[in-house]
Amino acid sequence: MKKLICFDMDNTLINSDKGHFHSYMESIEKFGFKRISYWRFLKLMGMPKEQVVREIIGYGKKENLYKKINDLQAKLIEIKYVHMTKALRGTKRVLKKLKKDYKLAVTSNCSHRTILNLLKSAGINYRLFEVIVGNDDVRISKPAPSEIRKASKILHTRASYVVGDSIYDIMAAKRAKVKVISVLTGHYSREDLKRRRPDYIVSSLRQLPRLLKKIENES
């Protein structure tokens, strides 16, 4: 039976930072809040969506306000800013290669529909993945292990690896008791990631096939 790899999406498979930034800033302005700098925003990437909004506009607001801003942000990135999404270098080739020997899944804190739209804009065929799990497919998103467990349940295959760029991917993988491979294509330094003790760290997705082959040969 093929082993299952769960991939984070943003800054693991694709770069959509600018699209997320502009859609968030337009959303919060619609509700009367001030924009933050692009560089401050990048530090929030990977967080649960609700937490991102709280960090931008402040804590202690009504829950339905956070939800309204997130709902608008999801619409804007799909309709207005989706064209800003690009596949990271080597992603398509790596996915096609791994598809031969593994089951592939996307587990992301974006909504299911947003995942599909961003992958399409980046030129990544969603059919490369046996399953896609977004934050609206589970009750609690990353850093909870729910998205990983949902993918495993749908495919009747326990995940063997989680691949992601953020500390939240590491936290989710450890809670799901799955090996985690961190990639340095996001906004976390090697030291940031090391503090969370991933099983492996690679510079980019292009190193993944070789690493997996080495792990399998040693096991």
Statement to judge: residues 210 and 158 lie in one domain: yes
- Classify 122 as helix, strand or coil: coil
Q: Of 108, 127, 114, 125, nearest to 186 (Cα)?
A: 108
Q: Which of 83, 99, 120 is the last residue of a domain?
A: 83
Q: Is 63 exposed, middle or buried (0-12, 13-18, 19+ CB in 10 A)?
A: exposed
CATH number at residue 168: 3.40.50.1000
For residue 129 the two structure tokens come to 């993945």
Statement to judge: residues 170 and 154 lie in one domain: yes
Identify the pLDDT of residue 62.
83
Statement to judge: residues 116 and 154 lie in one domain: yes
Statement to judge: residues 24 and 96 lie in one domain: no
Statement to judge: residues 44 and 97 lie in one domain: no
Statement to judge: residues 92 and 40 lie in one domain: no
pLDDT averaged over 10-residue windows placed end to end, the chain, 219 residues: 97 97 97 96 90 93 91 95 97 97 97 96 98 96 96 98 97 98 97 97 97 92
Structural domain total, the chain: 2
Structural domain span for residue 69: 17-83
Helix or strand run (H / E) with residue 17: helix 17-30
Identify the pLDDT of residue 46.
85
- Classify 23 as helix, strand or coil: helix
Q: Is 187 exposed, middle or buried (0-12, 13-18, 19+ CB in 10 A)?
A: middle
CATH number at residue 69: 1.10.150
Statement to judge: residues 60 and 94 lie in one domain: no
Q: Which of 35, 61, 83 is the last residue of a domain?
A: 83
Statement to judge: residues 73 and 91 lie in one domain: no
Statement to judge: residues 197 and 138 lie in one domain: yes
